[in-house]
Amino acid sequence: MTTSTALVTGANKGIGKQIARQLVAAGLSVYVGSRDAERGQRTVDEIGPGARLLVLDVTDATSIAEAASHVDDLDILVNNAGISGEFDPGAPVDVDSMRRIYETNVFGVVAVTNAFLPTLRRSAHPRIVNISSGTGSLTWSAGPDRQFPPKTALNALTAFYADDLAGAGFKVNALAPGLRATDLNARAAASDGDPAEAAIGAVRLALLPDDGPNGRFISWDGSDVPW
């Protein structure tokens, strides 16, 4: 598959930064989506030619519309921007925390995807990759060692978009990146998992051939994750 342009949200750090770096290394032109212009520009400068800054706050409708107006060609959208919270499995779910997380991880994905769909539809090989989490698997979260699954709703969105856009040639998939050393939460910060390793899985889905999978939840190592 030959593609030319990608957008990675939340790409100024962590897994998103590594996805942007690897896509540029693969020969693509990559928009580095970043809410903070200064941090985003530092990432662009670090990655080098092929990377371009796109100021984008996935929770702000005006910012999303402004960003979309600057992108004329797009083949790949990687919805990577996401936040987390510290949840106590033995305590009631905090509604305000849920709203804050869903604003970025769910509604932000819908808003960004919808804003860039018209441009993606002009691509010969449109791809959407949603960076989810293994904790979003209802199957994996149903046992005695279950964790709070804040990404389950994102997985449902992945299945919805995959079905809705299949006739237009889209490939829409979710990635479980594994626990990585990022600032997502305290557990991630204490991890020694390499974000670049997770990025390899995301890039694999971003560059899928036309006979590749659609509507799947896939681990960073290429294996299937149960919904």
Kindly report, residue by residue over 108-153, the tens digit of the pLDDT.
999 999 999 999 999 999 999 999 976 666 666 666 555 545 578 8
pLDDT in tens, 204-226: 999 999 999 999 999 989 999 88
What does the CA dihedral 186, 188, 189, 194 come to, rounded to 10 degrees?
180
* pLDDT greater at residue 166 or residue 188: 166
DSSP conformation class of 224: B
Domain that holds residue 56: 5-219
Question: What average pLDDT score do residues 42-59 get?
Answer: 98
Using the 8-state DSSP alphabet, how is residue 130 labeled? E
**Whole-model pTM?**
0.90
**Is there a domain that residue 208 lies in?**
yes
Report how many domains make up the chain.
1
In a domain, 167, yes or no: yes
- The predicted pLDDT at position 3 comes to 58
Q: Is residue 159 part of a domain?
A: yes
Q: What is the CATH number of the domain that holds 32?
A: 3.40.50.720
> Quick check: is 99 in a domain?
yes
